[in-house]
């Protein structure tokens, strides 16, 4: 029997992927990477304009994309997203849970509403999306779920208590669901990014004083570029990672290793 090549294993042709929070930043970069590898994409976020732009960029490169506006904390909207995906493409093979929120504020000043909004966006959204997509993956006896967490889920950081708690919860969610759904041949893994140049991080990285301080914490001496997540998400979405589940891969320029 002829073994498939490494590149063949990374081919996502005929696969269907949902990427939440894919209107900009890391989510957009990952959606485009999956499309480049051959997958059909469902891009979703709360901003219709942003996801339509992501969809257009994918289609301009010859891919297929569907833009569905949805709030990942709303059960009805998440269910609608899953149904729209099946209606358009007939299946779902890959789910990338990327929607996220960070509120930087001293703990004593953090309101209950801000705490709940952070937990809902970063953790409850994983629960809702996996429950909505899970039945289709279970029925076809295969699937790839990739949860985007953070290095802050593994290390504490002042003024980010809710964010750290939610991202740490995402890491444990990944492990537990991976164990439970292994019998269905569904692999559940996570990616924990460090400092990447996105719109929220640009406020710090572009600052003359704060930028150098932030970069000094990173052994490689620079922030990540969104497109650098592309090869990793393609690997975790492909058959090349079929024997990996329950893992969190940190991509942070060595920042956690330095702690």
pLDDT tens track for 198-210: 999 999 999 999 9
Does 3 score more than 70 pLDDT? Answer: no
pLDDT digits (tens, 9 = 90+) for 76-108: 999 999 999 999 999 999 999 999 999 999 999
Are residues 129 and 71 in contact, defined by beta-carbon separation less than 8 angstroms?
A: no
Shortest CA distance to 150 belongs to which of 186, 196, 113? 196
Does 1 score more than 60 pLDDT? Answer: no
Residue 67 to residue 99: CA distance in whole angstroms: 15
DSSP class of residue 193 equals E
Domains and CATH numbers, the chain: 9-258 (3.40.50.720)
Phi, psi (rounded to 5 degrees) for 143: 170, 155
Other Cβ atoms closer than 10 A to 62 = 8
Question: Which pLDDT belongs to residue 2?
Answer: 57
Q: What mean pLDDT value characterizes the chain?
A: 97
The residues annotated with a catalytic role in the active site are 163
Diameter over CA atoms, the chain: 63
Question: Which pLDDT belongs to residue 259?
Answer: 85
DSSP sequence for 61-74: TT--EEEEE--TT-
pLDDT digits (tens, 9 = 90+) for 106-151: 999 999 999 999 999 999 999 999 999 999 999 999 999 999 999 9
pLDDT confidence of 4, banded at 50, 70, 90? confident
Which whole-number Å values give the CA distances from 70 to 9, 129, 237, in the listed order?
A: 32, 11, 22
Question: Which pLDDT belongs to residue 13?
Answer: 98
pLDDT digits (tens, 9 = 90+) for 149-185: 999 999 999 999 999 999 999 999 999 999 999 999 9
Question: Which pLDDT belongs to residue 195?
Answer: 98
């Amino acid at each position: 029997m002829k073994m498939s090549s490494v590149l063949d294993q990374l081919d996502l042709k005929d696969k269907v992927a949902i990427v939440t929070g894919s209107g900009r930043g890391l989510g957009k970069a990952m959606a485009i990477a999956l499309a480049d590898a051959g997958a059909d994409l469902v891009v979703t976020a709360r901003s219709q304009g942003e996801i339509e732009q992501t969809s257009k960029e994918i289609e301009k490169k010859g891919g297929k994309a569907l833009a569905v506006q949805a709030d990942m904390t709303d059960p009805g909207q998440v269910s609608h997203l899953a149904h729209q995906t099946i209606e358009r493409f007939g299946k779902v093979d890959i789910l990338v849970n990327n929607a996220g929120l960070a509120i930087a504020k001293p703990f004593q000043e953090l309101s209950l509403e801000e705490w709940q909004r952070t937990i809902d966006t970063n953790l409850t959204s994983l629960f809702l999306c996996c429950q909505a997509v899970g039945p289709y993956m279970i029925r076809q006896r295969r699937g790839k779920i990739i949860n985007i967490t953070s290095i802050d889920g593994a290390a504490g950081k002042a003024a980010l208590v809710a964010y750290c708690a939610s991202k740490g919860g995402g890491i444990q969610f990944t492990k537990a669901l991976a164990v439970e759904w292994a019998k269905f041949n569904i692999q559940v893994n996570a990616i924990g990014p460090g400092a990447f140049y996105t719109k929220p991080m640009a406020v710090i990285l572009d600052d003359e004083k704060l930028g150098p301080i932030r970069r000094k914490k990173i052994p490689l001496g620079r922030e990540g570029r969104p497109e650098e997540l592309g090869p990793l998400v393609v690997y975790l979405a492909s058959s090349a990672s079929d024997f990996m589940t329950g893992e969190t891969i940190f991509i942070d320029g060595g920042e956690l290793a330095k702690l």
